[in-house]
Amino acid sequence: MIKDFKFKIIKNILNKEEIKLFKFWCEIKHRINFNSFDSSICNNADSFFYGDPITDALLLKTTPIIEKNIEEELLPSYSYTRIYTKFGECRKHIDRPSCELSATIHLGSDGTKWPIYIDGHEIYLKPGDGVIYLGTKIEHWREEFYGDWYAQVFLHWVLKNGQYKDFYKDKRQHFGIKK
């Protein structure tokens, strides 16, 4: 199925209690961030959440759900959370090999609706909803944000028998740690 696949929206990948937990977690992370901002492909985004234990645990929890949706066996790679702030954006790009299959899950926000664009399609997600896509093949981006904050977690996998299988755990020794 992966050869014909571009993207798929998965409603309620997080339940109400998980949404509540991650919203509080994001609000706390956003308010205590004093020196870690991402300016690579994304402007105005708090970016200090690579491989956090709670989001790597979410990566492991969701792996069977994603496998069922794409009918392929996967190896988890890594998680990465971004909290965008006013005027944040994410330029059009494709991902590195560790992101052969990616999911973007909306964790919470100040209430501002903000689409992600995947292969030119405008996609709006509610908290707890996710979209999976071929990160290394499909261009994706976000245009400028005008709210206070918008949080999402990126979860990444490689195909178990694919060309990027060596990127299992993003070549880390353990989940929940930085490279």
Note the pLDDT tens digit of each residue in 46-89. Answer: 455 788 899 999 999 999 999 999 999 999 999 998 888 888 88
Task: Quote the percentage of the chain above a pLDDT of 70.
Answer: 89
* Structure-block tokens of residue 57: 């645990």
pLDDT at 41: 47
pLDDT band at 45 (very low <50, low <70, confident <90, very high): very low
User: Rounded to 10 degrees, what is the CA torsion of 41, 45, 47, 52?
Assistant: -120
- Determine, yes or no, domain membership for 177: no
Q: Which domain holds residue 39?
A: 2-171
What CATH number did the domain enclosing 156 receive? Answer: 2.60.120.590
Q: Tell me how many domains the chain contains.
A: 1
- Determine, yes or no, domain membership for 158: yes
Between residues 47 and 179, the one the model is more confident about: 179
pLDDT at 27: 78
- pLDDT tens-digit series, residues 143-172: 999 998 888 999 999 999 999 999 999 999
Single-letter code of the amino acid located at 88:
G
pLDDT at 40: 45
Place of tokens 């195909």: 159
- Determine, yes or no, domain membership for 179: no
What element of type H or E holds 87? strand 74-93
